[in-house]
Structure 1
């Protein structure tokens, strides 16, 4: 359905429709290239509208993943580092298994192997998600729940290393039990 023209102002419904269409098409593509024309058509907007708001397909896909991640992944601040980490890890695991997020993320990982612009978008996305976890760890350290000299980068590498390895290879679950074990392991 074609949306009415709104001039240069961003129409939030159209904006969200584009983000949702990009993620859905990426998830359904099974490795086939997803182009701006297809995203615009699926969102019911003109191609020029997409390009007015995003300079490239990579920027759009990054925005779509970030938007979905903001919806799916907790940003807890409960006052307990263990509870914050558990919520963050568990929601990261669960979010990556939902449709369309999981299939879209897998497709983006595959495409990033061949497309340096998408690789940079994926790197930016991963660093943004990592910063959310860093904030939780830093708060915990400030409250004395982590050693003052705890290496936050090493803890983050352990969390996201396990996540990405299991997400990509698929050899073991990303479930609540794993989230609890990982949380406890990070806090030892």
Structure 2
């Protein structure tokens, strides 16, 4: 009997994770297609094939779902690398970030979130938290190199993080065709030089 109960619990866990993934995917797709104002919990539930009570079991609001969808998408696509060198890590991190932002669904979702955040304080806060998490991830990449004494302690990590995401967002908004691996590698080289030259 205990073995059967354990098996049922494991299967339920897989179902829960599958439902959560479906909800996050649905939220990202709807945000990209309709913008925040066109997304409701009911629409997310219908698109994901779940009941709305399933969504409220894990998230308190639509904005919380949208934020989690953006975070999930970014963190699935871009992990913190460890190639052994700053330049290598930056090339991987920026390359994967550019690649994730280049997909039409993700790019449209990010732009839609920025536009909607101008008139929605809750979504603005959610977007700020999302962006802060991505900045923290890149800062961690730089700190790994500082801890290895690969770059000096005075290296301007915060400024470099801002520059990296400044380039990313400029290209998301105005030059999506420049979100390619070569551009990411070029940016990685420039930022490595800046961090190492102090």
Query: Does the 8 Å CA contact 2:90/2:141 hold for their aligned counterparts?
Result: yes
* TM-score between the two structures when normalised by the length of structure 1: 0.89
- 1:97 is matched with which residue? 102
* TM-score between the two structures when normalised by the length of structure 2: 0.85
Query: Does the 8 Å CA contact 2:102/2:176 hold for their aligned counterparts?
Result: no
Higher radius of gyration, 1 or 2:
2
1:17-41 alpha-carbon deviations (Å, 9 max, x no partner): 1111111111121675211110011
Deviation at 1:186, TM superposition (A): 0.9
CA distance in 1, matches of 2:176, 2:94: 18
Equivalent of 1:142 in 143, 147, 151? 147
- The secondary structure found in structure 2 opposite 1:96 is helix
- 2:4 is matched with which residue? none
Is 1:118 equivalent to 2:123 in the alignment? yes
Alignment size in residue pairs = 182
Structure 1 residue ranges without an equivalent (≥5) = 1-5
Is 1:178 equivalent to 2:155 in the alignment? no
CA distance in 2, matches of 1:72, 1:171: 18
CA distance in 1, matches of 2:173, 2:36: 14
Structure 2 residue ranges without an equivalent (≥5) = 1-10, 194-198
CA distance in 1, matches of 2:124, 2:175: 21
Is 1:20 equivalent to 2:29 in the alignment? no
**Runs (4+) of structure 1 moved beyond 6 Å?**
none
Query: Does the 8 Å CA contact 2:35/2:113 hold for their aligned counterparts?
Result: no
In terms of fraction of residues, the more helix-rich structure is 2
